[in-house]
Structure formats: structure tokens, C-alpha cells
Amino acid sequence: MTDYSAFTPYLEWLDSQQDAMVEDLIRVANINSGSYHTEGVNRVAEAFAELAAGLGGEVSWHEMPAQEVISNQGQKEHKPLGRALQISKRPEAPVRVLLCGHLDTVFPKDSGFQQVRWLDDKTLNGPGVADLKGGLILMLRALQAFENSPFADQIGWDILFNPDEEIGSPGSSTLFPALAAQNHVGLLYEPAYADGNLAGERKGSGNFSVVVRGRAAHAGREHHLGRNAIRALADFTSALDDLNGQRQGVTINPGFVQGGGPVNIVPELAIMKFNIRLERPEDEAWCLEHIQHLQNDINSRDGLSLEVHGGFGRKPKVLSPANQRLASLIRECGENLGLALEFKPTGGCCDGNNFAACGLPNIDTLGIVGGKIHSHEEYCLVDSLSERAKLTALILFRLATDTDRDWLKRS
Ligand SMILES: [Zn+2]
């Protein structure tokens, strides 16, 4: 049995930090950091670099490659991304922990949702207060409490603040394999559920764009010479949607369509975007095979071509034995704080998927308690700042003092 009394002074210090955490959260949430607002993302990164200065880690900045996207005109475009910030300490420590959270939000520079306000004296409404700036604030305080303790020499850590999670981490995921390899466990700061519980298994996800090109012709004079891109795309989309229900846990959602122009012209261009969610890694091959088959069908038609771009950016998160061990350690830490934490499966994805796929056991909802994320009603229950900071601090204390470390060995 762990004697938690040695940790008490550091947990009490976190209680004393509650008001300061709220103040810091309001400041960073009032800076817009929509994923493509790179200047705002970089400003938020700099604010966090300042907040982390007392930790004494080594700071490195990573430039991200631009994201390749398919425009609504069917062209490849490159969108610049903000910088990732990494802070690292004690690379040689016996236990190494990755702490990770994203700087970006889903609210663009010109969003109508820009400022934080109080809904009542316990509830803050604002862009990113839950997803995920509140989590970053409490993570840094928890780490400070740990660094103030005599147990600190047992754990080395990397913090990754990444700029592009809300668009699938196209740039920052290139950093993940090395970070996964040099750490034993990952703690990620997506918000907990509104009832305080945490996420366990997660579905995998892929985003795809389809560009169909046909041939334009006058709809009255030479209709027979045209090749209708909209018709071909409609056939493809119907057949794709018919795959729903054919394989356990796989869902396909055509979610965007655009094409054509004046109705007296046979349309030569049509574009569709779709998302796939799946439960098992082997489902990916099943999906890709079917997509290929549907694509071949269109490409075999005279005068028509169909390109598919994109892929599976998030692997399904399956809880490995080491990941289950980490979850039970976290459940025990919760019990010590009077929290009955449950781990619930979800169809949503985050960087926890990618880190699990890189072999890093991780729990990814250690941020604040809140809800209605990705909407203008996003909120954070502010008391959870100190509550969840204490949870993270306890996790670190346990990882530093538990004598059984066999489960931390990489398979
Ligand atoms: Zn998030």
C-alpha cells in the first residue's frame, strides 16, 4: 500500500494555486489560436513557454511542415502551421513521462467566439477553456508541485505543446515516434467528460477527399459529348455509404460535397469529403480495399477520373496490458482524492490514439472537467483545475515511488 501522506504538502500547495490557475487560463483562452491562425497559435505557445519557465527544462521549438489539403476547387493547397514547443528535463531518469496537449482550438481567427466569460462563479465559458488550455494550465502546476518535491529525481519528462491536434496533427505527429520511444507512459490533457470520468478505448479515424473530373459540354447542343462528374460522384458516394453496416464498428460519413456550376453545362468537376471511424486496426485494410474497388469502377468509365486523397491519421486506441496498468494506477490516485474514476470507450479520437499506436501507454483525458467542446457553449468547471492538478501530481508521485517498475519495460 502506498503511504500518500508524504505527498500531502505538495497537494496542498496546488490548492493554494487555484486562483492563479484561473487567472492564467483566462489570459491564454482570450488569445485566439484557431489551428490555421498560426500567429495566434505561436503567441499561445510563447505564453506557455513563460508559464513553464520555473520548471527549468530545456526548451526546443519545432517548425512544422505545411499541411497538404484538397481545396474546394480540387487543387492541392499547402496551409502553414504554428510551431510545436517541447520542454524536456532529466533524460537519464529511471522513469520517463510524456505530458502532451495541444495549443490550437477549432475556433478560427474570425470566429464569433473569442472571449472568456463567467456563466456562474464555478463555470467559465470560452474558446479552449476545456479543449484544451485548461488542461495545459493544470498540467504545468502539477509538474511544478512535483519538481518542488524530493521525488523529482526519479522522473524525467518531455512536455509537448502541439499546434495542430484539432486538424488531426498532420505536422506534429511526425514528432510522436521519437517521443514515444524515449518515454514509458504518456499523460495527455484533453478534457475529462462532464461527469468527471475519463476515456479508455478510442475508435480510429480517417479523412478522405475525392476529386472527380469529367468533361464539360453544352447541355443542349452537345450533351452527348459531356461526361457528368456529379453523376459519377453520386454513384461513388451512394456505393460508399452502402458500406455502412457491413462491418462491425465501421462507420463512413460523406460529409461535404461540391461540384458543377451553371446548369446548362455538363459539370466537369465534383468534390466530396468523407470520414471513416473504425474499432480495430485490421478494419483499415477492409475499408481501403473497398474504396479502391469503387474508385476502379468510376475510372473504368469513358472520360471520367476519380482521385482519392487522404488516409487514416488516427489508429484505433486499444488498451494494452501496460495501458490498463496505468489506468488502474490512475484509478487508485483518484480514489485517494475522493474521485471514483471510470474509463469509458469513445468514438472520438485524439493524439492518445497516435501515441498508443507508437506503443506508448497513455491516458488522454487528464485535463479539466467540462463540456460542450467545439461549440460556443464550451465550458470549464474551474474547481477541477486544482482537483485534476492534484490527480496529475499524484500520478507522478506514484510513478516516482512505486517499486514495481517491470510493467514500464517496453515490449
Ligand atoms: Zn482537444
pLDDT in tens, 269-326: 999 999 999 999 999 999 999 999 999 999 999 999 999 999 999 999 999 999 999 9
Query: If DSSP states are collapsed to H, E and C, what string results for the chain?
Result: CCCHHHHHHHHHHHHHCHHHHHHHHHHHHCCCCECCCHHHHHHHHHHHHHHCHHHCCEEEEECCCCEEEECCCCCEEEECCCCEEEEEECCCCCEEEEEEEECCECCCCCCCCCCCEEEECCEEECCCHHHHHHHHHHHHHHHHHHHCCCCHHHEEEEEEEECCHHHCCCCHHHHHHHHHHCCCEEEEECCECCCCCEEEEECEEEEEEEEEECECCECCCCHHHCECHHHHHHHHHHHHHCCCCCCCCCEEEEEEEEECCCCCECCCEEEEEEEEEECCCCHHHHHHHHHHHHHHHHHCCCCCEEEEEEEEEECCECCCHHHHHHHHHHHHHHHHCCCCCCEEEECCCCHHHHHHHCCCCEECECCCEEECCCCCCCEEECHHHHHHHHHHHHHHHHHHHCCCCHHHCCC
Please work out, in degrees rounded to the nearest 5, the angle formed at the alpha carbon of residue 349 by the alpha carbons of 165 and 324.
115
Is residue 285 packed enough to be buried (19+ CB in 10 Å), middle (13-18) or exposed (0-12)? exposed
Per-residue pLDDT at 139 exceeds 80: yes
Q: Which of 259, 282, 314 is the last residue of a domain?
A: 314
Based on the fold, state whether residues 257 and 208 are members of the same structural domain.
yes
Based on the fold, state whether residues 197 and 247 are members of the same structural domain.
no
Measured in angstroms, how far is the CA atom of residue 18 from the centroid of ligand 1? Answer: 22
Measured in angstroms, how far is the CA atom of residue 387 from the centroid of ligand 1? Answer: 19
Based on the fold, state whether residues 80 and 9 are members of the same structural domain.
yes
Based on the fold, state whether residues 198 and 331 are members of the same structural domain.
yes
Calculate the CA dihedral of residues 287, 76, 41, 100 and round it to 10 degrees. 30
Measured in angstroms, how far is the CA atom of residue 160 from the centroid of ligand 1? Answer: 14
pLDDT in tens, 97-121: 999 999 999 999 999 999 999 999 9
Measured in angstroms, how far is the CA atom of residue 159 from the centroid of ligand 1? Answer: 16
pLDDT in tens, 236-264: 999 999 999 999 999 999 999 999 999 99
pLDDT of residue 167: 95
pLDDT of residue 193: 97
Is the distance from CB of 169 to CB of 132 less than 8 angstroms?
A: no
Measured in angstroms, how far is the CA atom of residue 212 from the centroid of ligand 1? Answer: 33
Q: Work out the number of other CB atoms within 10 angstroms of the CB of residue 306.
A: 23
Look at the chain and report how many structural domains it folds into.
Answer: 2
Q: Give the span between the Cα atoms of 134 and 225, in whole angstroms.
A: 59
pLDDT of residue 411: 56
CATH of the domain at 186: 3.40.630.10
Measured in angstroms, how far is the CA atom of residue 251 from the centroid of ligand 1? Answer: 22
pLDDT in tens, 35-64: 999 999 999 999 999 999 999 999 999 999
Per-residue pLDDT at 234 exceeds 70: yes
Measured in angstroms, how far is the CA atom of residue 215 from the centroid of ligand 1? Answer: 42
Measured in angstroms, how far is the CA atom of residue 102 from the centroid of ligand 1? Answer: 7
Average pLDDT, the chain: 97
Q: Which three cell numbers stand for residue 129?
A: 477553456
**Phi and psi (nearest 5°) for 280?**
-120, 145
Measured in angstroms, how far is the CA atom of residue 11 from the centroid of ligand 1? Answer: 26
Based on the fold, state whether residues 153 and 191 are members of the same structural domain.
yes
Average pLDDT over residues 209-221: 98
Q: Which of 299, 314, 329 is the last residue of a domain?
A: 314
Based on the fold, state whether residues 371 and 296 are members of the same structural domain.
no
CATH of the domain at 290: 3.30.70.360
Distances, alpha carbon 139 to alpha carbons 76, 188, 200, 235, in Å: 38, 9, 20, 49
Q: Which three cell numbers stand for residue 264?
A: 446548362
Per-residue pLDDT at 1 exceeds 80: no
Q: Work out the number of other CB atoms within 10 angstroms of the CB of residue 282.
A: 9
Q: Which three cell numbers stand for residue 379?
A: 465550458
Based on the fold, state whether residues 310 and 321 are members of the same structural domain.
no
Measured in angstroms, how far is the CA atom of residue 69 from the centroid of ligand 1? Answer: 21
pLDDT of residue 72: 86
Measured in angstroms, how far is the CA atom of residue 15 from the centroid of ligand 1? Answer: 25
pLDDT of residue 409: 82
pLDDT in tens, 27-36: 999 999 999 9
Based on the fold, state whether residues 151 and 20 are members of the same structural domain.
yes
Q: Which of 314, 330, 355 is the last residue of a domain?
A: 314
Based on the fold, state whether residues 96 and 59 are members of the same structural domain.
yes
Measured in angstroms, how far is the CA atom of residue 115 from the centroid of ligand 1? Answer: 18
Measured in angstroms, how far is the CA atom of residue 217 from the centroid of ligand 1? Answer: 46
Based on the fold, state whether residues 389 and 243 are members of the same structural domain.
no
Measured in angstroms, how far is the CA atom of residue 233 from the centroid of ligand 1? Answer: 33
Percent of residues, the chain, with pLDDT higher than 70? 100
Measured in angstroms, how far is the CA atom of residue 34 from the centroid of ligand 1? Answer: 12
Measured in angstroms, how far is the CA atom of residue 349 from the centroid of ligand 1? Answer: 9
Please give the residue range of the domain that contains residue 304. 204-314
Based on the fold, state whether residues 95 and 222 are members of the same structural domain.
no
Based on the fold, state whether residues 290 and 300 are members of the same structural domain.
yes
pLDDT of residue 4: 93
Measured in angstroms, how far is the CA atom of residue 101 from the centroid of ligand 1? Answer: 8
pLDDT of residue 159: 98
